[in-house]
Amino acid sequence: MAVIPLPDAVRKSLRGLYAITPDCLAANVLLDRVRAALQGGAAFVQYRDKGGDTTRQAETARALLALCRQFGARLLINDDLALALAVGADGVHLGATDGKLATAREALGGARLLGASCYDDFERARAAAALGADYLAFGAMHPSSTKPLAVRASPSLMTRCRAELQVPACAIGGITVENAAPLLAAGADLLAVISDLFEAPDVASRAAAYYQLFEENARDLPQSTTF
Ligand SMILES: Cc1ncc(COP(=O)(O)OP(=O)(O)O)c(N)n1
Ligand SMILES: Cc1nc(C(=O)O)sc1CCOP(=O)(O)O
């Protein structure tokens, strides 16, 4: 299926619910749940698949991209720059062991998004910002059943991120609708969520509750956000 590219202005406005796909779901179930998240207002989807079946990953990534396009949402690929480029995704998210940010930035060009995991490390965030990351992810904000061993991070890192780096901040780890408002107040532009969203009995309603939180906590975007 042909994929229509998003205008740069839309592509780079960075605020909203960032729905990260859970492991171990059949492709049709995954797509149904992601569709529901998009119906509820998720602005970003990250395809995170640790399974290693590259044929399935490419097929699923293409299907997710087509779905995101229907809703004007953006698809990022976790870990895998080559897959992101191969399917024409809107960007890639890289952690500490996923390759160099500089290489990804160059390969992605200016129009696609580069996200970087910064954990609890502000100096890592500073370096990632200097290398051109479009958003900086801090976590885990709360204990996470998806990643129980994740290091814990303070929401104040996001406050510093906005103030000192002027790069959008992403909160991740154990986020729920119930605990999200203080994260937005601390400076989160993106809320990256797996279990609270995708394990909800009604994924669309859960996504809509996050959307509502963003509406209630509207504020100016960081200076570096491009329109
Ligand atoms: C938005 C966002 N933030 C952090 C992560 C974690 O990335 P990483 O440290 O590479 O760990 P894995 O997701 O690969 O287990 C993320 N995926 N997305
Ligand atoms: C993938 C991931 N990275 C984290 C980090 O802290 O870097 S926490 C996490 C899991 C997020 O899933 P849930 O919303 O179910 O807690």
Residue 191 Cβ inside 6 Å of ligand 2? The answer reads no
Tell me what pLDDT residue 92 has. Answer: 98
7-25 residue pLDDT tens: 455 445 799 999 999 998 9
CA gap 220, 171 in Å, rounded: 17
pLDDT at 86 over 50: yes
Ligand nearest to C-alpha 177: 2
User: Is 115's C-beta closer than 6 angstroms to any atom of ligand 1?
Assistant: yes
H-helix or E-strand containing 186? helix 181-186
Residue 98: DSSP 8-state: S
Whether residue 86 has a cis bond before it, omega within 30° of 0: no
Q: Average pLDDT for residues 92-108, to the nearest whole number?
A: 97
Closest residue CA from atom 8 of ligand 2: 173
Which of 49, 42, 53 shows the shortest CA–CA distance to 25? 49
> Is the predicted pLDDT of residue 3 greater than 70, yes or no?
no
pLDDT at residue 88 in the model: 98
> pTM of this prediction?
0.93
137 bridge partner residues? 117, 170
Q: What dihedral angle (degrees, nearest 10) is formed by the CA atoms of 167, 225, 6, 63?
A: 20
d(C-alpha 98, C-alpha 21), whole Å: 18
Q: Which tens digits make up the pLDDT trace of 162-208? A: 999 999 999 999 999 999 999 999 999 999 999 999 999 999 999 99
Atom of ligand 2 minimally distant from the CA of 140: 6
CA of residue 227 to ligand 1 center, whole Å? 26
Residue that is written with structure tokens 């993106």 in the block: 190
Q: Is 140 in the pocket of ligand 1 (CB under 6 A)?
A: no
- Per-residue pLDDT at 60 exceeds 90: yes
| Catalytic residue, candidates 11, 12, 48, 162 | 48
Give me the domains of the chain, ranges plus CATH numbers.
8-216 (3.20.20.70)
Asked if 115 contacts 148 with a C-beta cutoff of 8 angstroms, the reply is: no
- Count CB atoms within 10 A of the CB of residue 208: 19
> 220 alpha carbon to ligand 1 midpoint, in Å?
26
Q: Give yes or no for a contact between 140 and 120, defined as CB atoms under 8 angstroms apart.
A: no
Q: pLDDT over 90 for what percent of the chain?
A: 87
214 CA from centroid of ligand 2 (Å): 20
Contacts of 86 (CB under 8 A, 6+ apart): 58
Query: What is the token pair recorded at 130?
Result: 């200097």
Q: Residue 130 and residue 102: Cα distance in Å, rounded?
A: 9
Summarised one tens digit per residue, pLDDT across range 62-78 is 999 999 999 999 999 99
Above 0.95 for ipTM, yes or no? yes
Answer positive or negative: Cα dihedral of 130, 154, 226, 89.
Answer: positive
Q: How confident is the model at residue 124 (pLDDT cuts 50, 70, 90)?
A: very high
Tell me which of 172, 179, 197 to substitute to probe ligand 2's pocket, judged by most ligand atoms within 8 Å of the beta carbon.
172
Catalytic one of 62, 124, 126, 147 = 147
* Amino acid 13: pLDDT: 78
